[in-house]
Amino acid sequence: MLLISCPHCGPRDEHEFAYGHEAHIARPTLDQQNTMSDAEWADYLFMRKNPKGVHFERWVHARGCRQWFNVARHTVTHEIIKVYPMGEPAPKLEQK
């Protein structure tokens, strides 16, 4: 069970949240979309980092304030290293 600190409501049980998978996947701009190859589309739509280590991911406080935010979480220890707002770039972390 994860204890996730919602930036608006404070620490809450994991089951109040829904998972939004990998963060920082930018949707191609309209200009890019016109010239993108199928392989580039596949990369955007389906390919994922899925790291064994620190993962930058999105969560939404679905059964609370319903706000989205980003989380840096370790996928082996499940330690939540940082919670940061949507739109902010991934924080630089010391590799554990």
Binding residues vs another protein (CB under 8 A): 1-2, 13-15, 18-19, 21, 38-39, 41-43, 45-52, 55, 57, 73, 75-78
Residue 32 or residue 75: which is nearer to another protein going by CB?
Answer: 75
Which residues make Cβ contacts (< 8 Å) with residue 71, sequence separation at least 6?
Answer: 4, 56, 57, 58, 59, 80, 82, 83, 84
Q: In the complex with another protein, which residue's Cβ is closer, 55 or 61?
A: 55
CA angle 61, 64, 65 (to 5 degrees): 80
Least distance to another protein, CB of residue 1, Å: 5
* Nearer residue to another protein within complex by CB, 18 or 81: 18
Residues 6+ apart with CB under 8 A from 40: 28
Q: How far is the CB of 75 from another protein (least distance, A)?
A: 5
